[in-house]
Amino acid sequence: MNRSCGLVLISVLALMLLPAHVLTASDTILPEGTRIYLQLNTPLSTKTNSEGDTFTAVVTEPVSAGERIVIPKGSDVTGSISRIQRPGRFKGKAVLTLQFQSITIPGRGQVPIVASLVGVDREGNRSVNEEGTIEGGGPSGRAAGRVIVPGLAGAGIGTIAGGGKGAGIGAGVGVAIGLATVFTSRGKDIEIRRGATLDIALDKPLVLPPEIR
C-alpha cells in the first residue's frame, strides 16, 4: 500500500514539473531558417535610442506551413535593442543590434521566438553583418578632405602674406583647423524610419500551438 502511494506521488510530481506547453500532434513547427518579413512600427536611431529600448513590427507577408497559413499578415512582433554604439569622431562605425522576442498571432496567442535580423531596407548608409548587427557608415575619405583642403587654403594665404615661410605657417594653421573639424564630427548615425522593412530568420524552430476555436 505504501509503495502504491509512493508511485502515485512520484507521478503527480512529474506532471507538475512538465513544461507549460508540451509538443502535441496538432502543433505546427516552422523550421530554423524560416524567413519572416516585417514592417517597423517604431523608428530606431543610434542617436536617440538606448540599449533595452523596445520596438514593435508587423508581419507584411503571410508565412505558410504546407498549404496552410500559420502566421497571417498583420501579426505583431516585439523586440528590443540589445546593443547600440554611436559612430566615433575619428573612426568606428555606428552599431545597432536588435533582439526579437515574441510574435502575437491571431487565434494562437503570443509565442516566443528566437530570430536574427537578415536584412533592412537600403535607405541610408548601413548594412547587416553575419551576426545580424546593423552597421552604419564610419568617417569616410571626406574626413581626410577636411584636413587637406584647409591646409592647402592656409598655404595659399601664407604665400601671399610672407612667401615660402608664410606658406609653411599657413599650411600648419589650415591643418590644425581641419583636424579640429574631424575630431568634432562623427560618422553617420544609424537611422531606421518607421515603416522600414525588416527581414528576419528563425535561429531555432518555432513551435506554434493549434488555433483557438
CA gap 175, 185 in Å, rounded: 15
The DSSP code for 166 is: H
Question: Which of the four pLDDT bands, split at 50, 70 and 90, describes residue 138?
Answer: low
Residue 173 has pLDDT above 80, yes or no: no
Is the pLDDT reported for residue 194 higher than 90?
yes
The confidence score (pLDDT) of residue 209 equals 86
Q: What does pTM read for this prediction?
A: 0.65
- Using the predicted structure, report yes or no on whether residue 125 has a pLDDT greater than 60: no
The span from the CA of 134 to the CA of 153, in Å, is 38
pLDDT digit string, tens, across residues 42-99: 999 999 999 999 999 999 999 999 889 999 999 999 999 999 998 875 557 889 999 9
Mean pLDDT of the chain: 74
State the residue for C-alpha cell 525588416.
198
Q: Check: CATH 2.102.10.10 for 25-139+187-208?
A: no
pLDDT value for 179: 39
Task: Write out the H or E segment, with its range, that includes residue 83.
Answer: strand 76-85
pLDDT at 3 > cutoff 50: yes
Residue 153 has pLDDT above 70, yes or no: no
Higher pLDDT residue, 210 or 102? 102
| Per-residue 3-state assignment (H helix, E strand, C coil) for 18-79 | CCCCCCCCCCEEECCCCEEEEEECCCEECCCCCCCCEEEEEECCCEEECCEEEECCCCEEEE
Q: For the chain, give every domain's residue range.
A: 25-139+187-208, 140-185
